[in-house]
């Protein structure tokens, strides 16, 4: 009798936990928004000129156009792809699997010279999102560069998607901005 009552209480506890989790998931915010910024020692005009070429600094743009089917990374990839201060082998290892899995790419959409660049994400969970790269001049030789993103997910699992995307995209944006900083500061 004691064992039966213990199993019954265990089942009720598990059902209660599942119900609580579903309620929490239902009320999680379904809107993702993020701002990631970095200060770069370069003029806003110099950064604007380099930032328009997403394939030179944006991690997803660099990897999105590459087909990884039967793809072998050459031993001398660092000499073939030059980004000042960036080890391309390490970057490829971290991004290749994510872009293959998500089939993501980004493309330039428009710009407002020299303060704003808009690009669009194709594929993955953020398909259709149009992030902005904002350039704020701190002084004539220093600029604050910010990637600003906003996207709304639908469905019951939208809140869970927001949590996972927030972690992943923040890491990608930080890496991309560090690439842009190295590109701008070392090209002087």
For residue range 156-173, list pLDDT tens digits in order.
778 888 888 888 888 889
**Would you list the DSSP string of the chain?**
-HHHHHHHHHHHHHHHHHHHHHHHHHHS--EEEEEEEEEESS-HHHHHHHHT-GGGT-HHHHHHT---TT----TTHHHHS--TT--HHHHHHHHHHHHHHHT-EEEEEEEETTTEEEEEEESSTTTT---EEEEEEEETTEEEEEEEEEEE--STTHHHHHHHHHHHHHHHHHHHHHHHHHHHHHT-
What pLDDT score does 70 carry?
Answer: 46
Give the whole-angstrom CA distance, residue 135 versus residue 113: 10
Is the pTM above the cut of 0.85? no
- Please state, for a pLDDT cut of 90, what percent of the chain lies above it: 42
For residue range 69-89, list pLDDT tens digits in order.
544 555 555 556 666 666 666
Contacts of 185 (CB under 8 A, 6+ apart): 40, 41, 42
Domains and CATH numbers, the chain: 30-186 (3.30.530.20)
pLDDT at 184 over 90: yes
């Amino acid at each position: 009798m004691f064992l039966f009552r213990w199993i019954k209480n265990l089942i009720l506890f598990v059902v209660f936990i599942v119900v609580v989790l579903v309620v929490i998931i239902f009320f999680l915010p379904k809107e993702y928004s993020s701002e990631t910024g970095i200060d770069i020692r370069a003029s806003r005009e110099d950064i604007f000129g380099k930032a328009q070429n997403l394939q030179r600094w944006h991690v997803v743009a660099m990897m999105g156009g590459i087909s990884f089917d039967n793809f072998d990374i050459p031993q001398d990839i660092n000499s073939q792809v030059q980004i000042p201060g960036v080890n391309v082998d390490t970057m490829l290892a971290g991004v290749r699997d994510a872009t293959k899995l998500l089939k993501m790419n980004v493309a330039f959409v428009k710009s407002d010279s020299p303060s704003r660049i808009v690009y669009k994400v194709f594929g993955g969970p953020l398909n259709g999102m149009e992030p902005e790269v904002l350039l704020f001049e701190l002084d004539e030789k220093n600029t604050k560069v910010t990637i600003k993103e906003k996207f709304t997910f639908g469905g019951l699992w939208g809140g869970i998607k927001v949590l996972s995307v927030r972690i992943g995209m923040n890491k990608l944006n930080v890496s991309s901005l560090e690439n842009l900083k190295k590109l701008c500061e070392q090209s002087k």
